Amino acid sequence: MKDLTHFVNGQHVAGGSGRFADVYNPALGEVQSRVPLASKAEVDAAIAAAAEAQPKWAATNPQRRARVLMEFVRLLNRDMQNLAEALSAEHGKTVPDAKGDVQRGLEVIEFCIGAPHLLKGEFSDSAGPGIDMYSMRQPLGVVAGITPFNFPAMIPMWKLGPALACGNAFILKPSERAPTVPLMLAALLQEAGLPDGVLQVVNGDKEAVDAILDNPEIQAIGFVGSTPIAQYIYGRGCSNGKRVQCFGGAKNHMIVMPDADMDQAADALVGAGYGAAGERCMAISVAVPVGEETADRLIEKLLPRIEKLKVGPYTAGPDVDYGPVVTAEAKARVLGLIDKGVAEGAELVLDGRNFSLQGYEKGFFVGPTLFDRVTTDMEIYRTEIFGPVLSTVRAKTYEEALGYAMDHEYGNGTAIFTRDGDTARDFASRINIGMVGINVPIPVPLAYHTFGGWKKSGFGDLNQHGPDAFRFYTRTKTVTSRWPSGMKEGGEFHFKQMD
C-alpha cells in the first residue's frame, strides 16, 4: 500500500512519527493509501524552516510573487484531469464536480495575481505642514491553514493564494481524509517557481493542529471545517495571541414562495441538496415552502426528479449525479440521522438507507433521501447532516419561513425563490446569514467577493478570499513623516507653510 508524505522544504518527506491514518477510496470502501500523522516536533521543524524562508519571499516584489501564481494557474489547467481524478478517488465526488473544486480554487489564485494592486497602501500628502502620512500593508510572517475534506483543492487555495501573494510563508494542514491533492498543489507551486520552504504541507490530526495553535512563530490561522472544531481552534488560537478566522458548519434553508417558478425551484433543490452527496457547506438541506399548496406542488415536482438521480462511482462516467460519502463513519452517521428523523415523526418520502450498487457493495453510498413535515425541534432539522438528505419544513407565511432561517444557529448560506421583487429585497435585507441567493440556490461568491458565514458558521473577523483575504493576511503600518527641510536650522521645529 502507498504511504503518502509531507511536503517540506520542497521535498516529499516521509512521516517520522510512526503514526498513520488510512485514506479510503469511498466508492470501493477500500483503503488506498496511508497518510502520515505529524508529531509536534515535525510540525515545529516545518514551521521553523518556513520562518527562515519567509523574509526573502516577503522582500520579493509583489509582481514577481504574482508571476509565480500566474504560472501556477497554467499548471493547474495543464494538470486539471489528474488533479480531478486524484480528488475523486479520495473524496468520492464526480470528476466534473472535482474539476469544479479545482476551478474555483484556481479562480482565487487568478484574483491573487492582482496582489500588487491590492497591496497598495494609502498616502496623504501634506497631512500637516511639511508632513506626509502613509500606510502600507506588510505580511504577517508564517501563517497557517487548516482545511476540511470536502473541497481538497479549493479551500487550501482560498488560504494559500492570498497568504503567499501577500508575502507570507504558509503551513497547510489539510484533511487527513483527502490529502493527495494538497500535496499535488504544493508540488505544482514549486514547479511554478515558489522558493522551497515558503509553503509547507504537514499532514496530521489533532496533534499537528495543536502544534500549529501553540507555536509562537505562527501569526495567523485560517480554519474551515465543522463548528465544534472551529470553536476550539478559534478559542485556543486567540488565547495564544494569534489572528484567527474559523468557518464552520451549516444548515442552509431555501424558501420557496407560492409565486416561484416551481420547476426551477425543484431543479435548484435537487442540485443544491444532493450534489456532491450533500457534502457541501453551501448545500441546501432544508426546503421551506410557504403555504400547504406550495409544499404539495413542490414535493410533487421534486419526487420524480430525485428518483431519477444516478448515484455511482466517479469512474462510471458523466451520467453519475453524485458519489459516495467520504467514510464508513460518515455513512453510519447519515443513516443514523435518517433513523432518528423517522423515529421523531418526520414523513420519509424517499428512503436512501438501503441503497446498494452492484460491484460496489462495500462503497459508502447513501441513496437520495427526502423528508416532509419536518419540525424545528427534530434533530434532523437542528443538526448538519452532511449527506444526501433534504428536509422539508412547511411554513404558513413568509414571516414564519424567514423566522426559521433566522432562528437557526447556523448562518452560512440561504436562498429564496420568488418572482416578487419586494419579498426578495426584504429577505436579502433582513436575513442574518452571510450569503444569500435570490433564485440562486448555492450563492457562493466569486473570487473577487468575499465568502463567509454568520452566527455559528463563522468565528473571527473578515471573510475568506476577495479583498478581505488581503486584509487578513497583512497588517497595516502607518508612517508619519516630516522632512528636515520642513524645519528651521538650529533644531527648532518650524513649518515652512506656517511662516
Q: Measured from the CB atom, is 299 or 389 closer to ligand NAD?
A: 389
Q: Are residues 413 and 433 in contact, defined by beta-carbon separation less than 8 angstroms?
A: yes
By CB under 6 A, the residues from 373 to 392 that bind ligand NAD are 384, 386
Three-state SS at 455: strand
Q: Please give the Cα distance from 365 to 362 (Å, whole number).
A: 9
Output the nine-digit C-alpha cell for 39: 508529531
By CB under 6 A, the residues from 70 to 89 that bind ligand NAD are none
Q: Give the C-alpha distances (Å, rounded to integers) separating 302 from 350, 370, 375, 401, 472.
A: 11, 9, 19, 19, 42
Q: Cβ neighbours of residue 351 under 8 Å, at least 6 residues apart?
A: 338, 367, 369
Strand positions, DSSP E, 181-226 = 199-201, 218-224
Which of 98, 211, 281, 337 binds ligand NAD (CB under 6 A)? It is 281
12 binds ligand NAD (CB under 6 A): no
CB atoms within 10 A of CB 229: 18
Q: Please give the Cα distance from 203 to 226 (Å, whole number).
A: 18
Minimum Å distance from CB 433 to ligand NAD?
A: 12
Stretch that binds ligand NAD, among 43-51, 84-92, 147-155, 470-478 (CB under 6 A): 147-155
Q: Please give the Cα distance from 300 to 287 (Å, whole number).
A: 14
In what helix (H) or strand (E) does residue 122 lie, and over which residues does it extend? strand 122-128
In the DSSP assignment, the letter for residue 316 is: G
Q: Measured from the CB atom, is 381 or 398 closer to ligand NAD?
A: 381
Total number of residues that touch ligand NAD (CB under 6 A): 26
Minimum Å distance from CB 209 to ligand NAD?
A: 4
Q: Please give the Cα distance from 137 to 474 (Å, whole number).
A: 6
Residue 456 phi, psi dihedral angles, 5° rounding: -80, 15
249 binds ligand NAD (CB under 6 A): yes
* 3-state class percentages of the chain: helix first, strand second, coil last, to nearest 5: 40, 25, 35
Beta-strand pair 218-224/142-146: parallel
Three-state SS at 259: coil
Which of 7, 111, 170, 247 binds ligand NAD (CB under 6 A)? It is 247
Stretch that binds ligand NAD, among 62-70, 99-107, 225-233, 257-265 (CB under 6 A): 225-233
By CB under 6 A, the residues from 157 to 186 that bind ligand NAD are 173, 175-176
Q: Measured from the CB atom, is 128 or 467 closer to ligand NAD?
A: 467
Which of 7, 24, 57, 149 binds ligand NAD (CB under 6 A)? It is 149
Q: Measured from the CB atom, is 123 or 448 closer to ligand NAD?
A: 448
Binding mask of the shown chain, residues 282 to 321, with x at each position contacting ligand NAD by CB under 6 A: ----------------------------------------
Q: Are residues 289 and 260 in contact, defined by beta-carbon separation less than 8 angstroms?
A: no
226 binds ligand NAD (CB under 6 A): yes
By CB under 6 A, the residues from 97 to 126 that bind ligand NAD are none
148 binds ligand NAD (CB under 6 A): yes
Minimum Å distance from CB 226 to ligand NAD?
A: 3
Q: Measured from the CB atom, is 150 or 392 closer to ligand NAD?
A: 150
| 281 catalytic residue (yes or no) | yes
Q: Measured from the CB atom, is 137 or 455 closer to ligand NAD?
A: 455
Output the nine-digit C-alpha cell for 112: 491573487
225 binds ligand NAD (CB under 6 A): yes
Q: Measured from the CB atom, is 57 or 459 closer to ligand NAD?
A: 459
Q: Measured from the CB atom, is 246 or 295 closer to ligand NAD?
A: 246
Residue in the shown chain whose Cβ atom is closest to ligand NAD: 225
Residue 6 phi, psi dihedral angles, 5° rounding: -100, 175
* DSSP letters for 330-368: HHHHHHHHHHHHHHTT-EEEE--TT---TT-TTS-----
Strand partners, 437: 415
Out of 112, 166, 246, 281, the active site residue is 281
Q: Where on the chain is the footprint of ligand NAD (CB under 6 A)?
A: 146-151, 173, 175-176, 205-206, 209, 224-226, 229, 247-250, 281, 384, 386, 412, 453, 457
Catalytically active residues, by annotation: 281
